[in-house]
Amino acid sequence: MSSTISDPASDGVVRAADGTPLKQRLNRALRREKLRSFLLILPLLAFIVLSFIMPIADMLFRSVENQIVEETIPLTVVALKEWDPASGEAPGEEVFAAFHADFVQAFKDKKHTRLGLRLNYDEPGMSGLFRKTGRPSTKMQPPYKEAFIKVDEDWGTVETWAVIKQASPAYTDGYFLNAVDAHRTAKGIEMVPENERIYLFLFGRTMFLSIVITMSCLLLGYPIAFLLASLPLRSSNMLMILVLLPFWTSLLVRTSAWKVLLQQQGVVNDFLVWIGLVNDADRLIMINNQFGTIVAMTHILLPFMILPLFSVMKTISPNYVRAAKSLGANDWTAFWKVYFPQSIPGIGAGAILVFILSIGYYITPELVGGTSGIFISNRIAYHISTSLNWGLAAALGTILLALVMLLFYVYDKIVGIDNVKLG
Amino acid sequence: MKLRLLLLAAASGFTFAAPVQSDELPACDNCASEMTVVSWGGAYQNSQVKAYSDPYAAMTGVKFIYDESSNEAVAKLRAMNEAGNVTWDLVDVEGPDAVRLCDEGLAMEINADEDLAAAPDGTPASKDFGESLISGCFIPQIVFSTTFGYRTDVAAWNGATPTSVCDVFDLEKFPGKRALEKRPKKNIEWALLCDGVSKAELYNVMETDEGIDRALAKLDTIKDDVIWWSAGADTPQLLADGEIVIGSTYNGRLFSVIEEQKQPVAMLWDYQVFDFDGWIIPAGLPEDRLNRVKHFLKFATDTQRLADQAKYISYGPARASSAPLVGKHEELGIDMAPHMPTDPANMGNILVNNIEWWANYADDVDAKFQAWLAK
Amino acid sequence: MSENRGAAVRYDSVQKSYDGETLVVKNLNLDIARGEFLTMLGPSGSGKTTCLMMLAGFEPATHGEIYLNDNPINNVPPHKRGIGMVFQNYALFPHMSVAENLAFPLQVRGMDKSEQESRIKRALDMVELGAFGSRRPAQLSGGQQQRVAVARALVFDPELVLMDEPLGALDKQLREQMQYEIKHIHDNLGVTIVYVTHDQTEALTMSDRVAVFNDGVIQQLSPPDMLYESPQNSFVAQFIGENNKLNGNVTEIGGGECMVEVAGGIKLRADPVNIAGIGSKTTLSLRPERVELQPEKPMDNMVDGKIEELIYLGDHIRVRMSVAGNSEFVVKVRNRGERRKIAAGDIVPIGWAAGDCKALDAVG
């Protein structure tokens, strides 16, 4: 037999013409293919790692990272290990001496104010205390305890040192605690006072509003996508341009346009007053509240619902509905039992897209949300750009990410993730 | 209060002095030929371009690149610094941000007398700028204030006009929607002042939880009638649309609503809150870029230059010797002095932004304020 | 048109236009008898599918009336017509199992569960797919899907079943098999079937009658054999089976025959099926297998032709010739085993009977 495959009888291994096992040959042949595919996706992979995975990892890391204390005042951190805040007395001279050495060095490196800012997250006033102590620290003479207290008597209190001791570990759960309205006190983890709780509430509201926005996008987008999918190509292309039109104007312009329309002296109210539906004295409040946020965001996110719906519906042959009707189903049954189930992958894709986009939105809520329409993202933005508490922002972001993944998981369990289709 | 004296002195004269600075600039050795300046965009940036960078470019040929990122300058600068690639040469920020950037080590400390121009009469910069040097890194440009504007055509007011900041809290006499900033700063102060706290006691009261609660309780009385703004342009627009009857914003914004757009709006200067705006130099610039920045600053902090900026925008110059030189608006031709926050007529009651206090307590108070807002 | 009552389906002067300018269906009159297997055959764009869709109720008639069991149905919505339908590509609901697909028409009719089950079983057994009830359509082969589609269209016992190119997606062998199966189901159940196809073999194999559509008009409505043997016009002659065309002028008519003069002054005797009169133009139609090559006895028509090409096809040999100016003239010669001494280039006599040569309307 002169075939390329030798007789497998001898040892049960199929061999190629040159005697190497066929599996091995095949693997070698496939390896080149695999290498080629890998090289083809390499640029994208590198891009994703750099622009997506690394920033997220960085964010996750920041939410627990706390090396600044240990790095800035290492001697103090060691010296404070012996001190127990429960003693009710400020630490002794040896801690102050260590702190002085650390502090003078930190002042030279211009790092003392930075540490003050970090500690200020835990205890208001620390920032000022550190800034104030900067220059005088260079002229201090032992005993340092008295010298520090002379600069500010806060240095003599237990609380100041308790804050420093508590902030000493290189990693902290403090940001996460803050992100769920809790903090660590001498008595353990406690919720912050009622009048400071905000994040859990905002998480809840963000979820609620995002779901409402997703639902309203679905309600408005489904019929449009249905219409687009059932029209001949020429007219549907035309209408598709109208759907995409909002993308051509800037987000700010569109949001401002809603203001002009919905404000109390705005177009809609003017019209309602003019036709006599609304009394001039009690014009409707439709902006700077949840309603305004929902309207503006639904408008902005609608295309993200329509596009996946459209592309899925486009693939549903009109024959299915015809078949259903020929089998005796009326219009509604044909739609509900036959068309709708087949459009679910589009609903899934659109809903996930809109939901994820909306929980991360902050510009629109900031502009039209007033006080009742703001999202957790607005607080994240505040901590990123104004308070510079990036640790807290990272913790909030991480929780948001976890929530999205949880919802994804739930969606997968209920609907199935393979039931998501962009076309 | 020293600042108060400075502000009064700054506003004391209207005489038009002849330009005194020479057009000769010292040579710049080892200087970069480009500068990236960060500012706020809009009319404000325009005033800087006309008063500082255009004349400087005309003399030196330096190319200016403006980046309108001042709004998020602190966060961006921190990110640039962490990435080790600071592309900005000069950053325009408000006072509190300058303090913050200095504390973070993101801004370079300056030596006022060495780096800034002395006054024409030889007064050293540190003395001429005086209290406006709120941080070792800050190069002051202007004094601005946050104050109220109100519509002059509100029928429900029966001819009354607000004269006190406390009229903002008086819904009976002055019904209608108000606009306040979606931040605790200034609102807390105004609320307490109108709740009977004396100016001297103000920050002591605010330091206590009860003080903040008391301020929020006062704000509660008007909460339902407040539209909360987050961009300085909101209040002028809301006033022009008739959406609100009174609202707080920056005095320059109100100036343009009143004088440029001729809307039926007037200023309420009572308890205006002063702030500074100025430049910082990012820390760690390479030598040639730093040389260029310093060369430019020496030019741009000159007494006449600061006074020139007020021709284009109604903010007061931050150094005492510039005040007498403030003239007329470049296009409208009106006297700018009465529109300056620092005009004695406007300075009956004033507050100065307590940067130190807010640096310490902002996070806490903000949490409480936002929780209160969300309720 | 016949007005006989009791037709299962009647199209009465039906017209259809989509754009208001051109008629896709022009004045259609057609009766379909109860229990009949009628095929609408024609090239694409001939209006046959439109006629089917109007009957199913998915397209409204622009003018005229369609009757189902003598009841006008123009205003009856599709789901109330009780017509079973098999679609091109089957239109099986992909999110339902085979059994659920079959249950669908029963459920919407509110049939009780046990009745449903027995019917589904019967229908699946009929198409020999009894074990496939729980599969999804995507898990079935094309032929199996096709059978499910047929079963679904029949499971609710409709009197009329429409089939729109149901075999178009199958390969040739499967298609032939399915033709017989559908035919058997029709014979066993006695339902009326209206079948649309562009495949003449399908039409000839299965139908009781075939309506040949072209240009929105039925060209001929006949049983399959009549269609082939007696085409009423050149389109049908050309569309059904293979056909030789010779163009000429009528010179004489009489005695059930006519004389046609074709190119080269050759006069041929023909069956005057569709001619206007003496002097009019006509196209002669002649089936290739009715032509004798080198006939032993003289025939009605005898001419000489030049052999252009010989193609060996096993059971017969195709001979392409030039006859009376037509170089595409084909003669099929049965392979009887005897060696004929012919080769390309030879000029040989050919002949055919006058009755096999139809004088039809002139084309080309």
What percent of chain C stands above pLDDT 90?
74
pLDDT one-digit tens code per residue, B23-66: 568 888 899 999 999 999 888 999 999 999 999 999 999 999 99
Task: Give the residue numbers spanning the domain of C325.
Answer: 243-360
Which of A326, A329, A331 shows the shortest C-beta gap to C85?
Answer: A326
Examine residue C50 and state whether it is found in any structural domain, yes or no: yes
Same domain for C205 and C279, yes or no, is no
CA distances from A352 to A50, A357, C195 (A): 25, 8, 45
Q: Touching check for A389 and chain B: CB below 8 Å?
A: yes
- pLDDT at site A28: 86
Q: What is the mean pLDDT of residues A227-247?
A: 87
A262 shares its domain with A405: yes
| Tokens, residue B131 | 């209290």
Same domain, yes or no: A19 and A56: yes
Same domain, A218 and A357: yes
CATH assignment of the domain containing C51: 3.40.50.300
User: DSSP letters along B261-308, please?
Assistant: S--SEEEEEEEEEEEEEEEEPBTT--HHHHHHHHHHHHHHTSHHHHHH
Could you give the CA distance from residue B74 to residue B92 in angstroms, rounded to a whole number? 10
**Which of B138, B181, B363 is the best substitution to test chain A (most A C-beta atoms within 10 A)?**
B363
Asked whether the beta carbons of residue C93 and residue A327 sit closer than 8 angstroms, the reply is no
* Amino acid A417: pLDDT: 72
Question: For A251-268, what is the mean pLDDT?
Answer: 88
> In this structure, are B101 and B151 located in the same domain?
no
Alpha helices in C57-141 (DSSP H): 98-108, 113-126
Per-residue confidence (pLDDT) for residue B17, from 0 to 100: 39
Q: Residue C341: pLDDT band by 50, 70, 90 thresholds?
A: confident
Characterize the bridge pairing of strands C292-293 and C347-352: antiparallel
Q: What is the pLDDT of residue B20?
A: 41
Residues C69 and C188 grouped into a single domain: yes
Average pLDDT score over chain A: 89
Of A381, A349, A225, A143, the residue nearest B182 (C-alpha):
A381
When pLDDT is averaged across residues A155-172 and rounded to a whole number, the result is: 92
pLDDT at B5: 46
pLDDT digits (tens, 9 = 90+) for B312-360: 988 989 998 998 888 888 888 888 888 889 888 998 999 999 988 998 8
* pLDDT value of residue A422: 65
Among the partner residues C77, C87, C109, nearest to A323 by beta-carbon distance: C87
Q: Dump pLDDT digits (tens) for A124-162.
A: 889 889 988 988 998 999 899 999 999 999 999 999 999
User: Where does a domain end: A137, A172, A207?
Assistant: A172
pLDDT at A408 over 90: no
Nearest to C79 among A317, A328, A341 (CB): A328
Q: Are residues B62 and B203 in the same domain?
A: no
pLDDT at A7: 52
Q: Is A38's Cβ below 8 Å from some Cβ in B?
A: no
Chains A and C touch (3+ CB pairs under 8 A): yes
Contact state of A322 with C88 under an 8 Å Cβ cutoff: no
- Residues A379, A252, single domain; the answer is yes
The torsion defined by the Cα of C353, C354, C358 and C359, in degrees rounded to 10, comes to 150
Same domain, C122 and C99: yes
Shared domain for B122 and B223, answered yes or no, is no
H or E stretch at A175: helix A174-179
User: Which pLDDT value is given to residue B23?
Assistant: 56
Answer whether A335 touches C (CB < 8 Å). Answer: no
Q: Rounded distance, CA A129 to CA A120, Å?
A: 9
List, for residues C216-251, the tens digit of each pLDDT value.
999 999 999 999 999 999 999 999 989 999 999 999
Q: Do A386 and B78 touch (CB under 8 A)?
A: no
Res. B13: pLDDT tops 50 = no
Rounded to whole angstroms, the Cα distance separating B152 from A382 reads 35
Identify which of A127, A265, A288 has the shortest CB distance to residue B103. A127
Instruction: For residue B2, give how far its alpha carbon lies from the nearest alpha carbon of chain A (Å).
Output: 20
Q: Using omega within 30 degrees of 0 as the cis cutoff, is the peptide bond preceding A143 cis?
A: yes
> Which is nearest to A206 in space by CA: A1, A359, A9, A393?
A359
> Nearest CA to CA, how far is C164 from chain A (Å)?
11
* pLDDT over 80 at A1, yes or no: no
Q: List B residues 78-137 in contact with A (Cβ-Cβ < 8 A).
A: 78, 100, 102-105, 109
Residue range B146-161: average pLDDT?
94
Question: What are the residue ranges of helices labelled H in chain B?
Answer: 2-11, 42-48, 54-60, 73-83, 95-104, 112-115, 125-129, 187-193, 202-206, 209-220, 234-241, 251-255, 287-300, 303-309, 355-374
pLDDT tens across C136-191, in order?
A: 999 999 899 999 999 999 999 999 999 999 998 888 888 888 999 999 999 999 99
Question: Would C173 be classed as within a structural domain?
Answer: yes
Same domain, A340 and A206: yes
Same domain, B250 and B332: no
| Residue A4 resides in a domain | no
Which residue segment(s) compose the domain that B219 sits in? 146-272+350-374
Hey, are the CB atoms on A384 and B356 less than 8 Å from each other?
A: no
Torsional class of C215: left (φ above 0), alpha (ψ -120 to 50), beta (otherwise): left
Number of domains, chain C: 2
Query: Which one is predicted more confidently, B363 or C248?
Result: C248
pLDDT tops 90 at residue A410? no
Q: Which chains touch C (3 or more CB pairs under 8 A)?
A: A
Same domain, C127 and C108: yes
Question: A51 with A78, same domain?
Answer: no
HEC sequence for A281-327: HHCCCCCCCHHHHHHHHHHHHHHHHHHHHHHHHHCCCHHHHHHHHHC
pLDDT for position B21: 45
Domain stop point among A62, A86, A118 = A62
Kindly state whether residue C266 falls inside one of the protein's structural domains. Answer: yes
Q: What is the DSSP letter of B256?
A: I
- Are both B202 and B224 inside the same structural domain? yes
pLDDT for A249 beyond 90: no
Q: Give the pLDDT confidence of A17-40 residue by residue, as tens digits.
A: 777 888 888 888 889 899 999 999
Q: How far apart are CA A116 and CA A102, in angstroms?
A: 13
* DSSP designation for B320: G
Portion of chain A with pLDDT greater than 90, in percent: 53
Q: Are residues B17 and B134 in the same domain?
A: yes
Q: Which amino acid is at A129?
A: L
Q: Are residues A297 and A384 in the same domain?
A: yes
**What pLDDT sits at residue B18?**
39
For all residues of chain B together, what is the average pLDDT?
Answer: 89
Tell me the shortest Cα–Cα distance from B228 to chain A, in angstroms.
6
Q: Mark which residues 144-163 of C lie under 8 Å from A by CB.
A: 152-153, 156, 162
From chain A residues 100-129, the ones with a CB under 8 A of any chain B CB are 110-111, 113-114, 116-117, 120-121, 124-128
Of all residues in chain A, the percent with pLDDT exceeding 70 is 96
Structure tokens at B252: 């320059």
Q: Do B243 and A263 touch (CB under 8 A)?
A: yes
> Is the same domain home to C228 and C356?
no
- Beta carbon pairs, A and C, within 8 Å: 71
For A106-128, write each residue's pLDDT tens digit.
Answer: 998 888 988 998 998 888 889 88
Looking at the fold, whether C181 and C36 belong to one and the same domain comes out as: yes
Average pLDDT over residues B84-96: 94
Looking at the domain assignment, is residue A177 inside a domain? no
The average pLDDT across C92-100 equals: 95
CATH of residue B284: 3.40.190.10
Q: Is B72 on the interface with A (CB under 8 A)?
A: yes
User: Domain span at residue A373?
Assistant: 199-419
User: Does A187 map to a domain?
Assistant: no
Chain C residue numbers with beta carbons less than 8 Å from the beta carbon of A322 are: 56, 58, 78, 85, 87, 91
Q: Note whether A49 and A74 are same-domain residues.
A: no
Do C266 and C168 fall into the same domain? Answer: no
Give contacts of A327 with chain C, Cβ < 8 Å: 79, 84-85, 104-105, 108, 152-153, 156
Shared domain for A138 and A259, answered yes or no, is no
Same domain, C226 and C260: no
Torsion B214-B218-B224-B227 (CA) sign: negative
With tokens 């050149």, the residue in question is C234
Residues B244 and B361 in one domain: yes
Name the nearest CA neighbour of B73 among B248, B273, B278: B278
Return the higher-pLDDT residue of A343 and B374: A343
pLDDT at B19: 42
C208 and C285 together in one domain: no
Among the partner-chain residues A320, A326, A331, the one whose CB lies closest to the CB of C93 is A320
Q: Are residues A107 and A203 in the same domain?
A: no
The more confidently predicted of residues C70 and A14 is: C70
Q: Based on the domain organization, do C96 and C186 belong to the same domain?
A: yes
Asked whether the predicted pLDDT for residue A91 surpasses 80, the reply is yes
Phi, then psi, of B265 in degrees rounded to 5: -135, 145
> Are A34 and A74 in the same domain?
no
